[in-house]
Amino acid sequence: MVRCSCVLFRKYGNFIDNLRVFVKGGSGGMGYPRLGGEGGKGGDVWLVAEKKMTLKQLKDKYPQKRFVAGGGANSRRVSALKGSKGKDYDIPVPVGISVIDENGKVMGELNKEKDRILVAEGGLGGTLFTNFLPLKGQKRVIHLDLKLIADVGLVGFPNAGKSSLLSQVSHAKPVIADYAFTTLKPELGKIIYNDFKQISVADLPGLIEGAHMNKGMGHKFLKHIERTKQLLFVVDISGFQLSSQTQYRTAFETIILLTKELELYKEELQTKPALLAVNKMDLPDAPNKFQELMNQLQNPKDFLHLLAKNMIPERTMEFQHIIPVSAITGEGIEELKNCIRKSLDEQANQENDAYHKKQLLNLRISD
């Protein structure tokens, strides 16, 4: 069994996950009618993914949020009959960016370091076909939408103890309090094992019923778990109640409702491998409640009548591991860390096997 050693943690202060910017390609250069000289093409504007970049850094460095590429050079007699191209503008952005135009169309995604997307093309230089007059560069307003990329995303209602659990798993120090919505911005922690294997864990704002309709943190939460490899459900063994005006939910009902919220937002989220951490096992009567929960999870259809029909998902989650834990006493934390590692390793092996089988099949077809 691999055990964990030290853990690094990175906190996103004043976290920004969406930024609106203006981009404009450079204008083309003038042509030279007498000798048929062509003006240089205007420079292009590109987005380039960089690992250590954040949208907050981009906003702080370029407060005007305006990016214009260089203009193409004019055609000159003898020395430069064909004008040189204008200088491109490379905008550094974080990995995990979706680029969306003003009409809501996704222009592309930057999912790994050094990925590039052309967002504004430079204008053509003046030629015979344009009466030697240059064309202006493309200009547009674009939205940079960040979706965190992490190995594991914590899923739970407010006050389930996600922040406390992250602090135990990663020795991080997120803000923790006895009221809902403590986590208002994503936090990232990293588990580092003795063999230097690293696993990133994202603690994201807590869901409430109706999150798929953008209630509470809504889409601000749900969009971030799209790019996590696996989900870690975190539930309070004693159940959950957002306020005195809302209905009390048992741990089992909480799991069903969380599953429904994922389904209504995007069904594909239910296909992600998932683990379940049953938190606050230090509370009185927690062992009896845990046994009751395990019985319900083994035969979920026998207990779905407890919820209204519109709250029941098409399919229930099947958890690869269910671990009782206490973020207060540390009970089950080591087991949870090892289960996270085991689950991710199994997923990686399955993906590698599937890739090699596909390659082999392609070779056979080509032969």
Classify residue 183: in a domain, yes or no.
yes
Boundary (domain end) residue, out of 146, 166, 200: 146
pLDDT bin (cut points 50, 70, 90) of residue 191 is confident
168 assigned to some structural domain: yes
Work out the angle between the directed axes of helices 162-170 and 333-366 (0-180°, nearest 10): 80
Q: Judging by DSSP bridges, how do beta strands 152-155 and 230-236 pair with one another?
A: parallel
Q: Which of 146, 168, 185 is the last residue of a domain?
A: 146
Residue that finishes a domain, picked among 146, 177, 207: 146
Residue-wise pLDDT tens digits, 133-166: 999 999 999 999 887 778 898 888 877 666 677 7
Q: Looking at residues 51-77, what average pLDDT do you find?
A: 92
Domain assignment present for residue 7? The answer is: no
pLDDT digits 0-9 by tens, 255-267: 998 898 888 878 8
298 band by pLDDT with thresholds 50, 70 and 90: very high
Q: Look up tokens 């996704």; give the residue.
A: 106
Q: Is residue 286 part of a domain?
A: yes
For 90, the domain range is 18-146
Q: Please tell me the predicted confidence (pLDDT) of residue 183.
A: 39
128 with 22, same domain: the answer is: yes
Residue 115 lies in a domain: yes
Residue 362 maps to a domain: no
Residue 71 sits in a domain whose CATH number is 2.70.210.12
Contact 155, 225 (CB under 8 A): yes
* 311 in any annotated domain: yes
pLDDT at 180: 33
Q: Give yes or no: residues 106 and 251 share one domain.
A: no
Give exposure, 176-206, as e/b (b: 16+ Cβ within 10 Å): eeeebebbebbbbbbbebeeeeebbbbbbbb
Residues 27 and 163 in one domain: no
Looking at per-residue pLDDT, the higher value among 310 and 278 belongs to 278
Burial class of residue 80, CB neighbours in 10 A (0-12, 13-18, 19+): middle
Give the chain's domain count: 2
Q: How confident is the model at residue 5 (pLDDT cuts 50, 70, 90)?
A: very low
Same domain for 169 and 270, yes or no, is: yes
Give the model's pLDDT for residue 196: 79
